[in-house]
Amino acid sequence: MLGNVLVASALVGTALAQSSAAFTPLAAKKFDYNNLPYQADSDDGVRGRQLGYNRCNSTTENQDSLCQTAIINSIDDFCFWAPPRPNETVGDIEGEMVAWCTKEGHGTRIIPEGALQGVQFIQTPHYVQVVGYIDQVKIDLMADDYGGEMDPHGADQRGNPLGGLLFSTAFGGNSTTTGTVGGQQYQQFCLKACDPSYENGWAMCEHIFDRIGCKYNAPSDWSKINGTFEACKGDDQLYPGQYVEGGVTRTYTQPPESLGVITTIPYEPFTPSSSQCTPYTSSRIYTAGRQLAVSTSSAASSTRTSGASSSQASQTSASGSSRASAAASSASGSAGAQGAAQSGTPQSGALEGFKVAGGLVAVVAGLLGAVAAL
């Protein structure tokens, strides 16, 4: 396995000062992916204790997992943050989000079959990004939830979720990576992890534009992504919030929530070109979700009396499990970085920046909330 060091990104805006002199902001802590503490957050401030844990393994790999260590490696190996329990709004539980991943091997929940409706993974000179469309009720988001942004900061610098970490192997065996941004919004998600060795990684993964969603924080060809699955190379985006007007580079200022809903934004985000795109079929790459569906349906069919449906289920199960085991073995050979998950509520979004060093980069992930109306 690769050795990983997690370096959190620069801190942006602190609100609540922690009273403890010993307090270290989550983003300033470093972690070794292969030797993670049980909980990255050892504090007990106004938001209480970290809900879950960062030491995740085969015994924590189930749909009740409270693993809060996420990865962003490739189109078939990434995680996002989603709720630990259904029927709650992300804005209310962003400190408690847990990792949901595309494949086994990370000790997390698995993103159920059909939840990912379209995905684009892109690697550029300075970051990796995964964006897509989701059937959000399948990841325990409420149907009308507009999500939120998860990041390693938060007003109290303990991160959202508290103690949430994100790692990646995308930046090369021993390279350092910096910065990550991740978020979810209504029916969409986005996650970006910046190369920790890039001096402006914190800016590329800036996460202060948490109210304007994936469109502005992870510019992509959104209109072409639903229903498709592809991995591409691409050019860098402008830093979040930056735009060029009349040849002059400007930076957007996000108004405070006290001024109400954001109704206008003075620019359209620049979407860089992508190339070398490889198309995939979701059923071939998201085998863990498929296996989960099969095991759930075989459990259900065993209690049914219909022979026809149960034999269909068991056939599917055979092919699903052989694929899943192939996926599992390849997963064990790869280092993973995790990204932030997303959730959706229009007003709370946040991106995070992380630094990654070594093979796996640990990042504190955050959720990005988006405003649906934008």
Ligand X SMILES: *[C@@H]1O[C@H](CO)[C@@H](O)[C@H](O)[C@H]1NC(C)=O
Q: Given candidates 10, 11, 55, 236, which one binds ligand X under the rule CB under 6 A? A: 55
- Residue 221 near ligand X by CB under 6 A: no
Report residue 93: phi and psi, to 5°.
-130, 25
Q: Which is nearer to ligand X, 127 or 133 (CB)?
A: 133
**How far apart (Å, rounded) are the C-alpha atoms in residues 354 and 349?**
16
- Residue 57 near ligand X by CB under 6 A: yes
The tokens describing 165, both together, are 């970490």
Residues 93-132 that bind ligand X (CB under 6 A): 117
- Residue 198 near ligand X by CB under 6 A: no
The tokens describing 259, both together, are 């001024």
Sheet holding 177-178, edge to edge: 177-178, 354-358, 4-8, 361-362
- Residue 86 near ligand X by CB under 6 A: yes
Q: Which stretch binds ligand X (CB under 6 A): 4-12, 49-57, 194-202, 289-297?
A: 49-57
Q: Given candidates 21, 22, 35, 59, which one binds ligand X under the rule CB under 6 A? A: 59
3-state secondary structure of 337: coil
Number of residues lying near ligand X (CB under 6 A) = 15
The tokens describing 254, both together, are 């996000």
Q: Given candidates 4, 9, 50, 60, which one binds ligand X under the rule CB under 6 A? A: 60
Q: Which is nearer to ligand X, 110 or 203 (CB)?
A: 110
- Does residue 157 contact residue 328 with C-beta atoms inside 8 Å? no
Q: Which stretch binds ligand X (CB under 6 A): 8-16, 51-59, 123-131, 277-285?
A: 51-59
- Residue 146 near ligand X by CB under 6 A: no
Q: Given candidates 22, 227, 260, 266, which one binds ligand X under the rule CB under 6 A? A: 227
- Residue 18 near ligand X by CB under 6 A: no
CB of 28 to ligand X, least distance (A): 23
- Does residue 344 contact residue 90 with C-beta atoms inside 8 Å? yes
Query: What DSSP line would sit under 204-248, residue for residue?
Result: HT----TTSHHHHHS---HHHHTT-EEEEEEPPPPPTTEEEETTE
- Residue 223 near ligand X by CB under 6 A: no
Residues 21-40 that bind ligand X (CB under 6 A): 38
- Residue 258 near ligand X by CB under 6 A: no
Binding string to ligand X for residues 266 to 305, with x set by CB under 6 A, is what?
----------------------------------------
Secondary structure string (H, E, C) spanning 127-180: EEEEEEEECHHHHCCCCCCCEEEEECCCCCCCCECCCCEEECCCCCCCCCEECE
- The full length of the chain comes to 374
> Nearest to residue 139, comparing CAs of 206, 198, 83?
83
CB of 37 to ligand X, least distance (A): 9
Helix (H) or strand (E) holding 296: helix 287-302
Binding site for ligand X (CB under 6 A): 38, 53, 55, 57, 59-60, 86-87, 117, 133, 173-174, 187, 226-227
